[in-house]
């Protein structure tokens, strides 16, 4: 799920950044610093969407290093799967233990074989999961819709497990490269 959140942060500005257009520089630096990172408990920062000038407080020069500490308050768009959310993802790896899929920055969403309907069977020859009526094949590159069963955020990594047991979940598109 994508959502907006307002964050506050103290961050350090190097002396070389000081000069005319300071607020623009701060915005640029903040964007560079934040976008694409994984915030603990919040999820991946997709984009910096709002930073008002009034939310940048005057900085303070640190005596030791000469860097400027600036307090800012800004709004970011975040992405984080939640439990029971329905999520679309692309399969990357198929093994006999289940399969792994990516959804944007969230990589390696694991769908265990226990979380797949019973009529799926693993075909070791072609390395695909296939239903008993041979109609559905899950192979690397195809799109699946899953329900998120659990999310665990550790420093630098977000682990997600999913399930395609539910109705209307499972394969939604064939291989797309």
Find how far residue 9's CA is from the centre of its chain: 21
- Closer to other proteins by Cβ: residue 65 or 84: 84
> Which range of residues in 3-11, 15-23, 62-70, 117-125 is near other proteins by CB under 8 A?
117-125
* Two structure tokens written together for 156: 């630098």
127 binds other proteins (CB under 8 A): yes
What mask, x for binding other proteins by CB under 8 A, covers residues 56 to 75? Answer: --------------------
Handedness of CA 86, 107, 82, 94 (dihedral sign): positive
Find how far residue 114's CA is from the centre of its chain: 24
Residues 74-103 that bind other proteins (CB under 8 A): 83-84, 92-93, 95-98, 100
* Two structure tokens written together for 9: 């942060």
Strand, coil or helix: what is 32? Answer: helix
Question: H or E element: which one contains 112?
Answer: strand 106-112
Binding stretches for other proteins (CB under 8 A): 83-84, 92-93, 95-98, 100, 108, 110-122, 124, 127, 129, 147-152, 154, 157, 159, 161, 163, 165-167
């Amino acid at each position: 799920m994508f959502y907006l959140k307002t964050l506050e942060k103290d961050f350090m500005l190097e002396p070389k950044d000081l000069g005319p257009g300071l607020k623009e520089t701060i915005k640029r630096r903040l964007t560079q610093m934040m976008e694409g990172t994984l915030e603990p408990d919040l999820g991946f920062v997709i984009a910096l969407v709002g930073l008002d000038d009034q939310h940048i407080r005057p900085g303070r020069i640190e005596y030791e290093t000469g860097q400027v500490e600036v307090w800012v308050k800004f709004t970011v768009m975040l992405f984080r799967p939640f439990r029971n959310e329905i999520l679309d993802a692309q399969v990357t790896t198929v093994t006999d233990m289940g399969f792994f899929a990516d959804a944007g920055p969230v990589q390696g969403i694991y769908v265990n074989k226990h979380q797949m309907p019973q009529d799926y069977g693993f075909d070791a020859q072609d390395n695909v999961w296939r239903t008993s009526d041979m109609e559905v094949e899950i192979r690397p590159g195809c799109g699946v819709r899953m329900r998120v069963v659990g999310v665990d955020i550790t420093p630098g990594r977000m682990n997600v497990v999913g399930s395609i047991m539910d109705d209307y979940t499972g394969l939604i598109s064939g291989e797309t490269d």
